[in-house]
Chains A and B, each alone.
Chain A
Amino acid sequence: MISLTERQVNILGELRDTDGYVTVKRLSDRFHVSERSIRYDLDFIKRFLHELGVTLIRKQGQGTMLQMHPKQESVISQVLQQMNHLVLSRENLTYALAAQIMMDQETTLDRLGEIYETSKSTIFHYLSAVDDRLKRHGVTIERKRSKGISITGNEIDIRYAFITLINEITENSHITRQSFIKIFAQEHVDKVKAFIKTFEIRTQIQFSDSALKELTLIICYQMSRIEKDHYVAYPFIEVKNHLNSFAFELVKEQFQNNMTHPFPDDEVVFTLKQFKLSKISSVPIGEDNFAVDDEAYRVSLYFAREASKAIGINFAKDAEFIHALTYHLQVAMNRMKHHLPIKNALTEQVKYKFRFIYEITRKIVIKLEQHLNITFPEEEIAFIAMHLGASYERHSATGYMPTALIVCGSGLATSSLLASRLKVMMPEIKCDGPINLSNLQTFDLSTIDFIISTVPINFSKRKVIVVNPLLESDDLIRLRKLLFRKVYQKQMNDLLEINQPTTTLGALIPKDYIQLNQQPTDWRTAITRASSPLLRHQNITEKYVDAMIKAVEELGPYMVFIPNVAMVHASYKDGVNKDGMSLLTLKEPIIFGDRTDVTVKVIIVMCATKADSDHFIKLVKLLDNPDNMNTLKQATQIDELLLLNNRNS
């Protein structure tokens, strides 16, 4: 679609709002440009409208008229809405006037009326709303007959009010920070930009694009305030903290070289504070040398430790993570302390896509808030979650490559072409095959994540992606999407698994229910001895022990369904008082049952009052791990066992 300039949008708005013909002369007067420019604009608008199916009628001697159905009218209105930068709502006009008054410092109703193309009385009408808005930031509008409109208040408040206003405006309208920068004298802006650049180079940091614009604005404003002899003042103790620091000297030197006005130390401190409030996009590479008592560094380490507890990855060892998070927090925490907004366009996406990471982060933040006395907004939590997520991905994505099986209906040439193309274009997929369609049914799919085929196939066990053997861009896009989903799914599954509460052996079987290295003479004595803690704690009665022995006599050693481990139990009707499990390990394996050669080294007695025992399944999952099993068989101290869990693989 052709896009219109601001003036063309306004002309279109004028045409829409006028009944009948509008002359070129009138438009030329209205928009302060030549008739020739208006004609050019109208040609453009005509082409633009043509795409929307609307006719622009132009008649010699009469002018131009928009002819359309009501349906089309709403389309035009929508288009205008989207494109219109200049038509300000009441709310926006209040903001804009507030910003303008702050920038002008001293101004008049006439001047404001001129800038916003509206009457003095309209401006006057808005002034009280503007005053309300500014008062929220501690700034008052003063109106004096001779001097016009000016602002008063604490200088620090005025400076922060200015930047807050601009942030609010840029967030709520199409007006960009750039358009405010344009209002300052070009010469000033250039100087300030060069100054920030020098600061970046000398301190080896790089501000993000939006931070750069914000900084340019606030420092330009600082300059213009100083020129009118408005200075900030900080308590001496605060200034003293900055004196002689590298950054302080750097800023001071820069200002002395560039500014004609005196530049007291307090103003240097103000500038330094702005730098500290600005978001950084890249940080010095190399050794971390954060001070041990640096608050942001300490918070980062705290995050790393807490997240490690929850996820089981040692984040504190991820230097890249600590580094990036510390730099981020240095700025973010400063902003939060000053109640400045933190913007994160990805907040919603992070909350949705990194749900687990976001939740983990949120829980850590809640703990942290009490220590620090800062409230973290959602946007900030999302930022931290992104850092954490990146680190998590660095740890978990390594090593995982989905495997695709290439299935080819046609000859070898096509399939080998496809295979080699895949290798070059999508090295992140491991490929198996190619195999013929007829071999698919018998192929071992256990290591295959999905199937790439050159012909459509009806196959339900794995997802099938049909591609052109030449791999067209459309095929690549579909493969990339699937790949991303697979990797993502894998990560989420890993995370889910990790997030399951850990069950330790000690939690399932308490210490005094465990006996090690026993040497009973036969399997009957072994069961009786293994049951003794349950009897002692009255989980079961003697009847249950007899029932278990009888079960083995009658049914054989079927309870040995994990090699060397007997999971002994009977029916819950045979004398179970409450759920429980006990564990006994044997010094030497013994034969378990009569008429059999099955041996065991571990006996677990379980009793449950209802049919499905959750604890039992948890115990089996815990034993479904060769390392745990070995520890169990060889343990000599009960304490070695208590912490075994289903995660320590």
Chain B
Amino acid sequence: MKRLKILTVCGFGVGSSLVLKMKLDELLKEEGIDAHVETADVGSASSTPCDVIFTSKELSEKLINSVQVPVISVSNFIDKNEIKEAGLEKLHELIKE
């Protein structure tokens, strides 16, 4: 099983990406998934190597064409259930690869 590297992205890499990282870390712990979560701003996201990106709907539309990895969009960053529904399946898939 490989260790995933997850990137959370927001406009400036200071605010919402941090919140998303916080919630993702909680979710990963609950699910027993071993992964590393980093934050980035929208400009540097495409040049940061990672396995999957979590971000907002608007930013995902911008990112999806510039990166090779799956982009998962979340609208409410503090709703863990939404994050789970949007991303958990993908995370399990990536682990198996």
Contacts and interface: CB of A to CB of B under 8 A. Distances in A.
Interface of A: 446, 460-462, 551, 555-559, 561-563, 567, 569-572, 606, 608, 611-613, 616-617, 620, 623-624
Which secondary structure dominates chain A's binding surface? loop
Given A569-B15, A613-B14, A555 B20 contact: no
Given A446-B30, A623-B78, A624-B78, A559 B11 contact: yes
Given A446-B30, A461-B31, A617-B22, A558 B14 contact: no
B78 A620 contact: yes
Contacts, number: 75
A562 B42 CA distance: 19
B46 to A, nearest CB: 15
B54 to A, nearest CB: 11
B38 to A, nearest CB: 12
Contacts of A623: 78
B76 A567 contact: no
Contacts of A624: 78
Given A462-B32, A616-B18, A620-B19, 19 more contacts: A461-B32, A551-B11, A558-B16, A558-B55, A559-B15, A561-B10, A561-B56, A561-B74, A561-B75, A562-B76, A562-B77, A562-B78, A567-B15, A567-B16, A570-B12, A613-B14, A613-B18, A620-B22, A620-B78
Given A555-B58, A555-B62, A620-B19, A561 B76 contact: yes
A144 to B, nearest CB: 80
B48 to A, nearest CB: 14
A555 B13 CA distance: 13
Interface of B: 10-16, 18-20, 22, 30-32, 41-42, 55-59, 62, 74-78
Contacts of A617: 18-19, 22
Given A571-B12, A611-B13, A555 B42 contact: yes
Nearest to B57: A558
Nearest to B10: A558
13 contacts: A558-B55, A559-B15, A561-B10, A561-B19, A561-B56, A567-B15, A606-B15, A608-B14, A613-B18, A616-B14, A617-B22, A620-B19, A624-B78
Contacts of A557: 58
Contact of B18 (A461, A556, A612): A612
Contact of A555 (B14, B32, B59): B59
A267 B58 CA distance: 88
B15 A558 contact: no
A569 B18 CA distance: 13
Contacts of B16: 558-559, 561, 567
A333 to B, nearest CB: 46
Contacts of B14: 569, 571-572, 608, 611-613, 616
A555 B42 CA distance: 9
Contacts of A558: 10-11, 16, 55-59
A611 B75 CA distance: 22
A121 B72 CA distance: 93
Nearest to B20: A561
A162 B19 CA distance: 67
Given A555-B59, A555-B62, A624-B78, A616 B15 contact: yes
Contacts of A608: 14
Nearest to A441: B92
Contacts of B78: 561-562, 620, 623-624
